[in-house]
Amino acid sequence: MNQELLSLVQKLNDPVCVKSDVIRWGSPVPSFGNLSFAKIATVGLNPSNREFVDVLGNELIGPNRRFHTLNSLGLQQWDDIEQSHLSIIADSCLEYFNRNPYDGWFKKLDNLISGTSMSYYFPSSQACHLDLIPYATSTKWTDLSIEQKNTLLEISGDSLARLLNTSCVKLLVLNGSSVVTNFEKLSNLKFEKINMPDWNLNRKSTSHVQGFAYKGVIESLGNIRLRNKISVLGYNHNIQSSFGVTSRVQFSIRDWISESAKEIFNEAK
């Protein structure tokens, strides 16, 4: 992972990162958890700024720290980084769920994949989380311009492919329609879209929000061919932020992921 980390760190000096509101003093986050051990990876858009700052915008320090920064590494600039620093950053990714994970975000995702008997957390640790873009931004994804979003995807797509090629991941689970849409751009693949009435979200003043599932198999990402085909499952509701995602809907999504995963892993044997 160190070689890929070095490449990602070097991109922090690229002017496009400045224009895209990337938190440039924070390290890239290639993975949350043990990618080399995981069989399932959930997928999001990019790391939350809360991985680096508290609710007041102050850098997390001491036992509250989640990932490293220029400050924590004792560096003035990323050009000064050495292999020892890269190893420290890699360890923070590997040990993420054993230290101070952002449980307010990850517990809901962990519940969705719990029917597979795999988890981010000890003693399983057979799941990890990946983002399409390994850089946290000071501006929320929804508030970035289309140009900023496309630029970040362009500079990150090959990195995700290279990381997957070093892993044993057989299944990706995409969290929400924005992830699905942008993942389709990277993979140049249109997923099967399945209407799921049990996932509909009721609205008082408007018609309900329909629920959809997505399925597919990818062979490449960005400009890189994958070492092995990887199955992909997705759902259109963002579990952390979609209003009205009830426990019933979450249980139904969990059951669908569980049954689909059983078929995928049985076929892989």
pLDDT of residue 269: 66
Percentage of residues in the chain having pLDDT higher than 70: 99
How far apart CA 36 and CA 167 sit, in angstroms, is: 5
Provide the domain limits for residue 196.
30-51+102-268
Query: What is the chain's mean pLDDT, rounded?
Result: 93
Contacts for 112 with CB less than 8 Å, ≥ 6 apart:
42, 173, 239, 250, 253, 254, 257
Q: What is the pLDDT of residues 143-197, one digit of tens each?
A: 999 999 999 998 887 999 999 999 999 999 999 999 999 999 999 999 999 999 9
- pLDDT category at 202 given cuts 50, 70, 90 is confident
Give domain status of residue 93, yes or no: no
pLDDT of residue 267: 82
Mean pLDDT of the region 224-232: 96
- pLDDT category at 200 given cuts 50, 70, 90 is very high
pLDDT of residue 14: 87
User: Does an H or E element contain 44, and which?
Assistant: strand 40-44
Percentage of residues in the chain having pLDDT higher than 90: 83
CATH number for the domain including 221?
3.40.470.10
Dihedral over alpha carbons 93, 97, 99, 100 (to 10 degrees): 100
How far apart CA 173 and CA 176 sit, in angstroms, is: 9
Give domain status of residue 110, yes or no: yes
Q: What is the pLDDT of residues 55-78, one digit of tens each?
A: 999 999 999 999 999 999 999 999
Give domain status of residue 91, yes or no: no
How far apart CA 222 and CA 258 sit, in angstroms, is: 28
DSSP string of 171-221, one letter each residue? EEEEESHHHHHHHHHHHT-PPEEEE-GGG-B--SSSPPBPPEEEEEEEEEE
Give domain status of residue 7, yes or no: no
Give domain status of residue 89, yes or no: no
Give domain status of residue 68, yes or no: no
Give domain status of residue 42, yes or no: yes
**3-class DSSP state of 54:** coil
Question: Into how many domains does the chain fold?
Answer: 1
- Whether the pLDDT of residue 224 is over 70: the answer is yes
Give domain status of residue 205, yes or no: yes
- pLDDT category at 242 given cuts 50, 70, 90 is low
